[in-house]
Amino acid sequence: MRRGIAATALVAALALAATACGGDTEDTGSEGKKASGELSGTVTWWDTSTVGSEDIVFKKLAEDFKTLHPKVTVKYVNVPFGEAQNKFKNAAQAGAGAPDVIRSEVAWTPEFADLGYLAPLDGTAALKDEKDFLAQAAASTQYNGKTYAVPQVIDSMGIFYNKKIFKEAGVEVPKSVDELKNVAKTIKGKTGKTALYLRGDDAYWFLSFLYGEGGNLVDASNKTVTIDNAAGVKAFGVVKDLVTSGAAKTDATDGWNNMQSAFKDGKVAMMINGPWAIADTYAGKEFADKANLGIAPVPAGSAYQGAPQGGHNLAVYAGSKNLDASYAFVEYMSSAATQAKVTEQLSLLPTRNSVYTQPAVAQNEIVSFFKPVVDKAVERPWIPETGSLFAPLVTEYTKVLTGQASPEQGAKSTGEAYRKLLKDWK
Ligand code: TXT
């Protein structure tokens, strides 16, 4: 009898100990470390990657975390890029429904950190071999002297072109806006096709032309709004002229799908895009033979040649009830081994220097093109407001491209909106 009672008491004590250490408790995500140090519980991850191509790879990688930590269940949730930022802020503010880990776009990270919604990662298991990260990729994870995320992918933009159409028209890839307009005339004459699809509902597609005229959104070092200076006005004129001259076609809405369809179906010869578009583009009939896709630097303007830096980080929600398992998941998803798999399957750019030396990565043609582009890509100031600069910009960019505003008006209105947003800036 005693043994029975003793045994029962022992089982109860162990169960209590396990619960107290956040062992196999309910899906509440309570502290995920058993007394044995083994991680357990649930980690909910909001991924924003493109559905139908990138998400397939990232979901599988997330599921494979279980091989390292059998007691941890990763709940993979794909949240559309256009909704995730506000959805996370609303949930974090309400203290309900936020994920443990979020794929945080480079401009979201300083904003989320400033709001106190992210767990600082310094000294945690999330950060391993920090020195291996590309400095430009790590920059957006730093805020007020602390590290609030781990860089997952870095990217920039280039011209994607259809080699078959270029051959049929007998033209070379344009290196400048002026060459682009000349090439466009020949392509139209020889093939009847429009040369370029210029996305009109996302201002990220404006930045290469803004930089090309020597412009920028702001000058953070001098706390000065610069979008409405002469270079900014000129850049709005350049993109408007691409459309009115017939060199480029655009849409005010549904730009991603219209751009991808036009390019994948061979209706346009070029588009400007980034590594995140590769997997979807290869699914197009024109690129069943992958060799038909060429990639080249974005065209130079009158003053400069360069594309913007973008990318995504992995951040841990400050209110997570399973920080230990979340740190371990972030470290796993940004590890050299995982990054190499992502590059192999999606041609996305790693954020670790060591991964670029792996033979399979070094031989990846997309990576070989984009790495030098990323190395010289134009960084934005990683301040909480950076992400907010795009909303007023896209409104005016679309209006200028569709003839509803002049370049002067577009630049002026954007500048006014920025000075309202950036209170003490000139
Ligand atoms: C909010 C900015 C650039 C790629 C997949 O995910 C909206 O959320 C703000 O940050 C730039 O860097 C590049 O990787 C691919 O995996 C809210 O609901 C907000 O996002 C961004 O900062 C990106 O670097 C993924 O690779 C509204 O209420 C803001 N949106 C910039 O975003 C690159 O991002 C791929 O991303 C709120 C938005 O402006 C963004 O451009 C991105 O392409 C991704 O798909 C109202 O104000 C307007 C601008 O779009 C560019 O698309 C997307 O394709 C605005």
Per residue in 317-337, pLDDT tens? 999 999 999 999 999 999 999
Residue nearest to atom 46 of ligand 1 (CA): 391
pTM: 0.90
Using only C-alpha atoms, the chain has a radius of gyration, in whole angstroms, of 24
pLDDT band per the 50, 70, 90 thresholds, residue 2: very low
Residue nearest to atom 15 of ligand 1 (CA): 49
pLDDT of residue 139: 97
Superfamily holding 158-308+382-421: Periplasmic binding protein-like II (3.40.190.10)
Residue 38 · residue 71 · CB < 8 Å: yes
2 or 282, which is more confident? 282
In whole angstroms, give the CA distance from residue 327 to residue 77.
18
Checking if the pLDDT of 281 tops 60, the result is yes
Nearest atom in ligand 1 to the alpha carbon of residue 380 is: 12
Residue 172 · residue 269 · CB < 8 Å: no
pLDDT of residue 21: 39
Checking if the pLDDT of 5 tops 90, the result is no
Domain limits, CATH 3.40.190.10, in the chain: 5-148+310-375, 158-308+382-421
In whole angstroms, give the CA distance from residue 414 to residue 272.
23
Residue nearest to atom 1 of ligand 1 (CA): 82
pLDDT band per the 50, 70, 90 thresholds, residue 35: low
In whole angstroms, give the CA distance from residue 254 to residue 167.
30
Ligand 1 centroid to residue 64 C-alpha, Å: 28
Mean pLDDT of 214-240: 97
Residue 392 · residue 400 · CB < 8 Å: no
Mean pLDDT of 114-137: 97
In whole angstroms, give the CA distance from residue 366 to residue 206.
22
Residue 153 · residue 274 · CB < 8 Å: no
CATH number of 5-148+310-375: 3.40.190.10
Residue nearest to atom 53 of ligand 1 (CA): 81
Mean pLDDT over each residue of the chain, to the nearest integer: 93
Q: Pocket around ligand 1: residues whose beta carbon is below 6 Å from it? A: 48-50, 54, 81-83, 85-86, 105-108, 155, 202, 204, 274, 276, 310-312, 387, 390-391, 394
pLDDT band per the 50, 70, 90 thresholds, residue 32: low
Q: Beta 293-296 vs 146-147: how paired, if at all?
A: unpaired
Tally Cβ neighbours within 10 Å of residue 189.
Answer: 9
Nearest atom in ligand 1 to the alpha carbon of residue 310 is: 24
Helices 390-401 and 230-244, packing angle to 10 deg: 40
Percentage above 90 pLDDT, the chain: 91
